[in-house]
């Protein structure tokens, strides 16, 4: 492993922090290919940090002094996508009162990053393919195309092979985009990175800095490492951001927003159960926790007794019981002693 990539452990590397071997392997490839102009396709789930990888590729390349232009393809209206990417001449269509450079020309000399490239319509994909093949831009209404020197990095949040099979992505376009493919592991496959990512959140988040929250308790840390995180790093940070408003004291995050965490767990589809008849381990343990809490409530009426037996702070246990079966609160099944810990 190259020393530059080893330095990622506990430190910043173009905004990326990791101690995961899988992620470090990705960063090692990034370092080795950055200087070459080969097109790169970055694949990974939403929130895994694909744009950070693209920015690292640009920063380490010989093009780093030129701009990196990012295009969120999913946000481009279909009728404006061609104009946004490749520009238009004055008078090319109604409302075109001046010549406008497209994003490709704006990135000249640098890097054009096409995020969620699989969102481009079937009508625009052939035009992008032609641009990749010839490095020529034809603005709408332009007679002669313009040659553009730019490196193209793209990203997609789904399996590109499946996208081709489903007719959402042209095979020839995929072949052009993926001169080299990088697969970013999801957060659930690198849970060892959570302490680093949590520390990074507290360093960078304005709300955390404003409230003076700098770290999480050991209980919160363990809870974070038990989640599936279908939204990956972005979801982790969102949960932390929502939690610090009510769950922090004396600069320490003591309690998580359990509603957000429940959404994280239930949003993840239990594929293993479908194919093998066995639930995922965390799903199984969650169900055992549910059964335990139900029995705890049945046997012990006082919150202090329950918390002492469970070995949990009363406040934490109260939150778990709140999320256990919300409809029970409407029937008054929780004693006043449960509410006293809020």
Q: Which is more confidently placed, 115 or 263?
A: 115
Q: Say what the pLDDT of residue 207 is.
A: 94
**What is the rounded CA–CA span in Å between residue 41 and residue 151?**
12
Contact 306, 318 (CB under 8 A): no
Q: Is the pLDDT of residue 204 over 90?
A: yes
Q: Which is more confidently placed, 159 or 325?
A: 159
Q: Say what the pLDDT of residue 139 is.
A: 76
For the ranges 88-92, 176-180, 208-212, 252-256, which has the lowest average pLDDT?
88-92
Q: How confident is the model at residue 69 (pLDDT cuts 50, 70, 90)?
A: very high
**What is the rounded CA–CA span in Å between residue 114 and residue 213?**
36
Listed by start position, the domains of the chain span: 34-185, 190-268, 277-342
Q: How confident is the model at residue 66 (pLDDT cuts 50, 70, 90)?
A: very high
Q: What is the mean pLDDT of residues 323-329?
A: 47
Note the pLDDT tens digit of each residue in 244-276: 998 999 999 999 987 777 665 554 444 334 334
**What is the rounded CA–CA span in Å between residue 211 and residue 200?**
16
Q: How confident is the model at residue 341 (pLDDT cuts 50, 70, 90)?
A: very low
Contact 117, 73 (CB under 8 A): yes
Q: Is the pLDDT of residue 325 over 60?
A: no
Q: Which is more confidently placed, 122 or 280?
A: 122
Q: Say what the pLDDT of residue 97 is.
A: 67
Quick count: other Cβ atoms within 10 Å of Cβ 339? 12
Smallest Cα–Cα separation from 229: which of 265, 282, 193? 265
Contact 100, 88 (CB under 8 A): yes
Containing 235, the helix (H) or strand (E) segment is: helix 232-247
The third-level CATH classification (topology) of the domain covering 190-268 is Helicase, Ruva Protein; domain 3 (1.10.8)
Architecture of domain 34-185: 3-Layer(aba) Sandwich (3.40)
- Positive or negative, the Cα torsion across 58, 61, 63, 66? positive
- Greatest mean pLDDT among 80-94, 133-147, 158-172, 314-328 lies in 158-172
Burial class (CB in 10 A: 0-12, 13-18, 19+), 3: exposed
Q: Say what the pLDDT of residue 296 is.
A: 84
Alpha-carbon distances of 46 from 40, 153, 230, 234, 313, rounded to whole Å: 18, 17, 8, 8, 34
Q: Is the pLDDT of residue 166 over 80?
A: yes
Q: Which is more confidently placed, 209 or 122?
A: 209
% of the chain beyond a pLDDT of 70: 80
C-alpha dihedral, 132 to 159 to 163 to 153, nearest 10°: -20
Smallest Cα–Cα separation from 181: which of 48, 44, 56, 62? 44
**Interior angle at CA 264, CA 260 and CA 268, nearest 5:** 160
- Alpha-carbon 295 to chain mean position: 38
Q: How confident is the model at residue 331 (pLDDT cuts 50, 70, 90)?
A: very low
What helix, strand, coil percent values describe the chain, rounded to 5? 50, 10, 35
% of the chain beyond a pLDDT of 90: 52
Write down how long the chain is. Answer: 342
Q: How confident is the model at residue 324 (pLDDT cuts 50, 70, 90)?
A: low
> Do the domains spanning 34-185 and 190-268 agree at the CATH topology level?
no
Q: Say what the pLDDT of residue 249 is.
A: 92
Q: Is the pLDDT of residue 117 over 80?
A: yes
Q: Say what the pLDDT of residue 96 is.
A: 67
**What is the rounded CA–CA span in Å between residue 95 and residue 86?**
17
Note the pLDDT tens digit of each residue in 3-14: 443 333 444 578
Q: What is the average pLDDT score of the chain?
A: 82
Q: Say what the pLDDT of residue 50 is.
A: 97
pTM above 0.85, yes or no: no
């Amino acid at each position: 492993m190259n020393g530059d990539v080893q330095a990622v452990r506990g430190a910043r590397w173009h905004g990326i922090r990791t101690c995961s071997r899988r992620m470090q392997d990705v960063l090692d490839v990034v370092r080795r290919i950055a200087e070459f102009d080969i097109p790169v396709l970055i694949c990974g789930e939403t929130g895994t940090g694909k744009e950070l990888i693209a920015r690292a590729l640009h920063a380490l390349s010989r093009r780093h002094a030129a701009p990196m232009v990012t295009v969120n393809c999913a946000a481009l209206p279909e009728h404006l996508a061609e104009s946004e990417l490749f520009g238009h001449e004055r008078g090319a269509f109604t409302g075109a009162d001046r010549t406008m450079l497209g994003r490709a020309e704006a990135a000249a000399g640098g890097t054009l990053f096409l995020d969620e490239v699989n969102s481009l319509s079937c009508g625009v994909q052939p035009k992008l393919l032609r641009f990749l093949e010839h490095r020529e831009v034809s603005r709408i209404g332009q007679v002669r195309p313009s040659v553009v020197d730019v490196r193209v990095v793209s990203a997609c949040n789904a399996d590109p092979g499946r996208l081709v099979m489903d007719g959402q992505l042209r095979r020839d376009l995929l072949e052009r985009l993926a001169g080299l493919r990088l697969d970013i592991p999801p957060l659930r496959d690198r849970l060892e990175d959570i302490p680093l990512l949590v520390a990074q959140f507290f360093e960078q988040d304005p709300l955390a800095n404003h409230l003076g929250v700098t770290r999480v308790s050991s209980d919160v840390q363990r809870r974070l490492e038990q989640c599936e995180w279908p939204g990956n790093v972005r979801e982790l940070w969102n949960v932390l951001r929502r939690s610090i408003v009510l769950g922090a004291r004396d600069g320490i995050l003591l309690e998580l927003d359990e509603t957000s965490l429940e959404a994280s767990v239930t949003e993840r589809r239990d594929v293993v159960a479908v194919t093998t008849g066995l639930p995922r381990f965390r799903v199984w343990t969650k169900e055992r926790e549910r059964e335990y809490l139900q029995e705890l409530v049945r046997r012990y009426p006082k919150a202090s007794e329950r918390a002492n037996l469970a070995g949990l702070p009363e406040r934490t246990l109260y939150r778990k019981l709140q999320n256990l079966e919300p409809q029970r609160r409407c029937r008054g099944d929780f004693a006043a002693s449960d509410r006293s810990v809020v």
